[in-house]
Structure 1
């Protein structure tokens, strides 16, 4: 057995033995309770280097914390930032998805793409399709194979390009969406462990996400056309007929009318938000804030903007295309969309309590301060520190598919730690998301991997797991190299991550806390008792 096969088998065996993410968080909570008791017993303590507050490890079995756990349990869930943000966006996105707007728009983009730019069109469409949530896997990827076949190209090359874009480029997009709301919503409470006033918006990684589209699109184009497709032509003959599919049928007049209605609605929403922003006394502008912070209310309004825009554009498409015949259809679509979020809501209950209990224990800031002090003694440059975050994220992605589950566990430690090293929460999040994306297509443990294999076997019944793995590994390898370089260059060039968001974190002036500064530019840190 080849070394590569043994490695993949080992990954698969380890991953299969991991519990469901819900029970993974239960184990995390139990371990946290034990650690909090040890920390409280040994007197672990430090000083918050931003606020100057003394921090002492607290046992989670203390009277106060047990009271918080059981009496405030509903409040703990309701206060979990990602939950409200994600559900708000889903109310609108569910209408756009179920009315057919997303599917038709993706079909239109790919069906009308000239043969020469078909591969980059698939790449960009795949990354933008994340607004349709999981529908991107079941629409864009098989559709890419059908369209490649329709123009005489190898369908599995189209499938590979679509899979690479949708899954390997998961953090790439042209506009913020539900995935940004989810991940950055987890980042905010982690950042507030150090700086209680810190706010994270849905646009915190916007420019970085666009950068991923710009970097990954030519990679997908080159690998698909120069490496993958020539290899597939020699190793995977195309079926004479191929699968039948209605997806390659041109858009109907009703679908085109629906897209026109949706486009006009989108333009109207952009115009409305721009008008409100520039009106005197706009609620989207804080005239008293620092210049680079004045538009924070606008960025914070983007959750509502996307929710309302998806709802209205989806409804407009449905009216034009005939998929929405009454207001009751819209209510059913929203209800079905929320029903599909049930697995996430279950996970959110346990993730919310893990994050809250980490905060109650005081261990998050203590570990972060101690870790930051240790990393500072190593004098590692910021790009190298963030490269480490990418690699750690890649490693965990081989075993745990849920991006939110991994980040909920990692964020309370790495976000405060890197803030103390002068790296913004948004930059740390961007590095995590890069690592979480690039290895999605390299692990058979990814939840949609069997589905993609099924799509491939529609064209070649002998196309097995090893065939799919060997096809996708070149994308994963080059994505990882490019991702590491992109993170390093982003920090080295100090590029903005989003509107008003930079690579570096600057804590409030030490005078505001009344504590003497240290070499970190913040109050003295008391060592943890061992």
Structure 2
């Protein structure tokens, strides 16, 4: 199937804002003139080392909440630090969290894809999903995927490109919509996920600096996060269909035809095999539920919790994704004849890994840069300086919340980890806002808005290079600039509209979540 975006509605709806298109095109051109992402991370690594040497002699007054001591910049160019960097280089790379997540999940997904299982599922999905609702459906699935930690990055985003391509729409628009839902809407979800207790633990610790007896409910932002899901879906839907897809209408899909799935009418044998494979998948899910149900299940923590990060279930999400795709994929492949023996299954896994070779190279340099950036303390210093500046402004409460959102979004460009960022900002912002009468629940909600909005425009986010690889499957010359320009409208819209939504939500007095409040002391 050969297609470009010109065969969709963008042909009939010319750009209403040519200035915006020119700006985005300019960003794309400039961004794509940057070195290859792998080289960019290498240059960033060198820059961090040089800046660490430059600032290591300065004395800073900000207190690092992690150590309770004045923060300092560690010189990475000392003999001891260089020796440590070199001796741990292999471990730094192999322990890079996204690398294992992506490769293990892709082994299972590769079997399901090469067998034709995913292909048949998409055919059936396209039959029952109206074309007008395809975009919001993908965004909502992307938002819900947060429940399974990083599953959205390795499953939903690439599948969105496949689905859009099969529907005759530009695949990059599908990838953009899913990326906006998975990463731009990272802190929104109808379903409670592991991110809730993770953030709550830092919020409660920070709040206890002022009120030692205060308790923060892990679901203190659940209602707001649920309502935000609808907002993100609506914003993403509009931007995808009215801005991104029309702009892509002249971007040809010129990827390797061998890498782009071909879609033909589903046969009776394929339909039967698909539903039998789905049946096997549901049996697997039922077995998992049965194993997790008892209070003393080995998949729970000692306290009987399932939805916290330390629970074996949460730590097993990626292996479970592997099993829940590889087993139905094998069943489907055997039934339709694409898998005749075990060698065919291994060949499918090998092919899926070969498509990840470029990402592995980028992950190597990315992991070294992130490690050096963290070890230097430069990112922590940026976060603490920003929080201190906000505190010194003594702004009105509403303006302070807006400033809190924008501060978080800015820091997020340099410190990608949500928990690491909140560990730095939380101990400063939560007590500070409590002292002007704003609750930890409201401060955490503001943090979640800012933390999500700028995820999709920073190449320093560990999964950003992976999304570039997904795009290159369809458009060969996709670079960092292409993805940044494509995602910038989502980022700006989410930052402005989601912040406004938080203020409106606050103004209406709607509950943020369970046992939550807007004021401190709680009224």
The interval holding the TM-score normalised by the smaller chain is: 0.5 to 0.7
1:507 match:
none
Report the CA distance between 1:417 and its aligned residue.
Answer: 3.9
1:142 to 141, 165, 175: 165
Which residue does 1:120 correspond to in 2?
133
Measure the CA separation in 1 of the matches of 2:363 and 2:311: 27
CA-to-partner distance for each residue in 1:314-371, whole Å, 9 max, x for gaps?
A: 2222223332222222211222222211122111111111121123323333333333
Residues 381-400 of structure 1: pairs in structure 2 closer than 5 A:
381-382=400-401, 384-387=403-406, 389=408
Please list the CA deviations of residues 401-420 of structure 1 after superposition, one character each: whole Å capped at 9, or x if unmatched. Answer: xxxxx777787985554333
CA RMSD of aligned residues (A): 5.3
> Is residue 46 of structure 2 the alignment partner of residue 30 of structure 1?
yes
What secondary structure does 1:41 align onto? Answer: coil
Q: 2:38·2:365 contact (CA, 8 Å) conserved in 1?
A: yes
Cα–Cα, structure 1 residues 475 and 317, in superposed 2: closer, same or farther, change >3 Å? Answer: same
Change (3 A) 1:449 1:295: closer
CA–CA distance in 1 between the matches of 2:18 and 2:503? 34
Q: CA offsets per residue over residues 364-399 of structure 1, 9 Å max, x none?
A: 333333332222223554454335555887xxxxxx
- 2:363 matched residue in structure 1: 348
| C-alpha contact 1:87 1:338 (8 A) present in aligned 2 | yes
SS in 2 for 1:284: coil
In structure 1, the residue matched to 2:292 is: 277
Aligned to 1:82: 98
Q: Does 92-101 or 483-492 show the bigger shift? A: 483-492
> Is the 8 Å Cα contact of residues 284 and 298 (structure 1) preserved in structure 2?
yes
| SS of equivalent residue, structure 2 residue 380 | helix
Question: How many angstroms does 1:65 deviate by?
Answer: 0.5
Question: Distance in 1 between the 2:393 and 2:352 partners?
Answer: 48
- Distance in 2, matches of 1:292 and 1:127, equals 21
Using the TM superposition, give the Cα deviation of residue 108 of structure 1 relative to its aligned residue in structure 2, in angstroms. 0.5
Aligned length: 422
Residues 418-427 or 32-41, more deviating:
418-427
Q: Deviations over 1:133-190 (max 9, x none)?
A: 6653653123223xxxxxxxxxx6x98985764455454899x9xxxx9xx9xx99xx
Tell me, yes or no, if the aligned pair for 1:161 and 1:224 is still in contact at 8 Å: yes
Q: Describe the SS at the equivalent of 2:56.
A: helix
Unaligned runs of at least 5 residues, structure 1: 146-155, 196-204, 237-244, 394-405, 455-470, 505-530
**Quick one: structure 1 residues 77 and 168, their matched pair in 2 at CA, closer, same or farther if it must change by over 3 Å?**
closer
Q: Which residue of 2 aligns with 1:515?
A: none
Deviation at 1:282, TM superposition (A): 1.9
Q: Is the 8 A contact 1:32 1:358 kept in 2?
A: yes
Determine if contact 1:37/1:61 at 8 Å carries over to the other structure: yes
| Displacement after TM superposition at 1:4 (Å) | 4.2
**Counterparts of residues 368-379 of structure 1 (less than 5 Å):** 368-379=383-394
Structure 1: distance between partners of 2:352 and 2:222: 25
Match of 1:61 among 71, 77, 85: 77
Structure 1 match to 2:464: none
Q: Is the 8 A contact 1:25 1:351 kept in 2?
A: yes
> Partners of 2:116 and 2:224 in 1: how far apart?
29
> Equivalences for 1:180-199 in 2 at 5 Å?
none
Could you tell me which runs of 5 or more consecutive residues in structure 2 were left unpaired when the two chains were aligned: 1-16, 143-151, 207-220, 251-259, 431-439, 460-466, 477-485, 519-523
CA distance in 1, matches of 2:222, 2:72: 37
1:39 is matched with which residue?
Answer: 55
Aligned to 1:514: none
Q: What is the SS of the residue equivalent to 1:42? A: coil
Within a 5 Å distance, the mapping from 1:238-387 to structure 2 comes to 249-279=264-294, 281-288=296-303, 293=308, 296-379=311-394, 381-382=400-401, 384-387=403-406
Kindly tell me: are residues 14 and 353 of structure 1, through their superposed partners in 2, closer, same or farther at Cα, counting changes over 3 Å? same
Q: 1:21 aligns with which of 32, 37, 40?
A: 37
Question: Deviations along 1:407-455, whole A, 9 cap, x unmatched?
Answer: 7778798555433334899986774544455999xxxx9788899899x
C-alpha spacing 1:56/1:171, structure 2 compared with 1 (3 Å): closer
For 2:140 and 2:416, locate their aligned partners in 1 and report how far apart those are by CA, in whole Å: 26
In structure 1, how many angstroms separate the alpha carbons of the residues matched to 2:332 and 2:32?
A: 42
**Displacement after TM superposition at 1:69 (Å):** 1.5
Q: Secondary structure at the match of 1:281?
A: coil
Q: Report if aligned partners of 2:62, 2:71 keep a CA contact under 8 Å in 1.
A: yes
Q: TM-score, normalising length from structure 1?
A: 0.62
Calculate the TM-score normalised by the size of structure 2.
0.63
Counterpart Cα distance in 2 of 1:269 and 1:33: 48
Change (3 A) 1:260 1:416: same
